[in-house]
Amino acid sequence: MGVSLKDVAVRAGVSVKTVSNVVNDYPHVSPATRERVRRAVDELGYRPNATARRLRTGRSGIIALAVPELGNPYFADLATAVIDAAAHHGRTVLLDHTAGLRAEEALVSQGFRSHLIEGLILSPIRLEAEDLLRRPARPPLVLLGEREYDAPFDHIAIDNVAAARLAVRHLIGLGRRRIAFVGARRDSRRQPAHLRLRGWREEILAAGGTPREELVAATDGYDRLDGAVAMTRLLDLPEPPDAVFAYNDLVALGALRVLAERGVRVPEEVAVVGFDDIEEGAYGAVTLTSVAPDKAAIARLAVDCLVARIEAAPDRPPARPRRILPGHALVVRESTVGRAAHR
C-alpha cells in the first residue's frame, strides 16, 4: 500500500536522491525543485519511513503536541495542522490533552515521556514560568498561545493585543459605543485573556471612549455555556451592551444563542465578534465575524522551530529563543454587518 521515494521521484520528475534530500531537509536543493517534490509528496500521500529514519538516526520520529482541549475546534484545527506540518518533516505527533490543568501542563513540559519524544509543542493555559524554569533543556520545547513567559523557549503566537484592537476598531467603526468583553478570567492575576482584554481597553481609549468595567464579563472557562451565562447577565444590565467582543468563538456562539432565544436582533441591536475563526462560525443562522489567527502558519512555524532544535548539532551553543508572530485577519460576517451588507 505504501508510497515509495521512487513513486514521489517519478511524479516530481526528479531523482530519488533529490527526493531524499528534500524529505530530509538537506540543503542544496533549489526552491522550485523543493516545491515540486513537496507537491508530489502531498499528492501521493507519501510518508517517510519513520522506522528506517529512527534506525539511522537513533531518533524516535515523534513529537508531542499538548493542547488544553480537543473539544474546542480551534485546537482540533491546530492539531490537524501540526500533524500535517510534522509529516513534512517525517515526524508523527503524539497528542496530549492537558485539560488546561497546571499539574498536567507542568508534567508534560518537564519531560514526561522524554525517552519517547524528540520534542514538545505546548499550548499552556495555567502553567507558570517557575514550572518552565525547572525543566531540562532537552527535549526541546516550543510554546504556543497567548501566555507570555520570561523563559528561554521559542514562542509562537499572534499579536493578541493588535488582533483584539482590530476587532474592537471594527465595532467602533460600526458606531458601537457600549462594547462588552466576554471571557475575562475571574482570577485577574493569572489571566490568559489579559492580552485580548488589554486590546479591548486600549482601542476604546484610543477612540476617545471609556472602557466600562461593568461590561467586562468574567467567565469560568471559554466554552459555549460560559458565553451563554455571561450574555444573559449582560442583557440584564440596566444599560445592556450594543456589541460584544468575545474571548473566543465558542464564547461568542454561546452569546449568539442567548441573543436568539431572547429575540435580540444581531447585529442591529447587538453586534458580536469572536476569535479563532472556527468553521462553525461560518454556518450559524447568523454567521460570526471573527479574528482569524493564521493556524497553518502557527503550526508550520512551531514544527520548523522544534525540528531545527532537534536537529541542531549538539556541540554548538543553542540558538537564541525566538518570539515569532504569525499573522491574523478579521473575517467579517453577518454578526456585525448583517446579511444584506455581507453579501
Binding site for a copy of itself (CB under 8 A): 1-3, 45, 47, 50-51, 54, 60, 62, 69-71, 73, 76-77, 79-80, 83, 92-97, 101, 103-104, 106-107, 110, 112-113, 115-116, 131, 224, 228, 253-254, 256-257, 260-261, 279-280, 282-287, 339
Dihedral (Cα; 271, 274, 280, 281), 10-degree rounding: 40
Q: How far is the CB of 223 from a copy of itself (least distance, A)?
A: 8
Round to whole Å and give the CA distance between 256 and 270. Answer: 9
Burial class (CB in 10 A: 0-12, 13-18, 19+), 98: buried
> Beta strand pairing status for 92-97 and 179-185?
unpaired
Between 100 and 199, CB nearer to a copy of itself: 100
Between 34 and 257, CB nearer to a copy of itself: 257
Determine the distance from the C-alpha atom of residue 311 to the mean position of all C-alpha atoms in its chain, rounded to a whole number.
Answer: 25
> Beta strand pairing status for 243-246 and 289-293?
unpaired
Q: How far is the CB of 169 from a copy of itself (least distance, A)?
A: 27
Between 131 and 146, CB nearer to a copy of itself: 131
Round to whole Å and give the CA distance between 281 and 274. Answer: 9
Between 113 and 198, CB nearer to a copy of itself: 113
In degrees, rounded to 5, the angle at the alpha carbon of residue 119 between the alpha carbons of residues 114 and 120 is 95
Q: How far is the CB of 126 from a copy of itself (least distance, A)?
A: 12
Between 57 and 92, CB nearer to a copy of itself: 92
Q: How far is the CB of 175 from a copy of itself (least distance, A)?
A: 24
Between 131 and 203, CB nearer to a copy of itself: 131
Please name which of 17, 151, 87, 146 lies closest in space to residue 307, comparing C-alpha atoms.
87
Q: How far is the CB of 151 from a copy of itself (least distance, A)?
A: 16
The residues that bridge with 284 in the sheet, in sequence order, are: none
Between 129 and 206, CB nearer to a copy of itself: 129
Between 1 and 313, CB nearer to a copy of itself: 1
Round to whole Å and give the CA distance between 291 and 124. Answer: 20
Round to whole Å and give the CA distance between 13 and 18. Answer: 10
Q: How far is the CB of 195 from a copy of itself (least distance, A)?
A: 26
Q: How far is the CB of 138 from a copy of itself (least distance, A)?
A: 16
CB 270 within 8 A of CB 158: no
Q: Which three cell numbers stand for residue 263?
A: 429575540
Cβ within 8 Å of residue 191, ≥6 positions away: 184, 185, 197
Q: How far is the CB of 227 from a copy of itself (least distance, A)?
A: 9
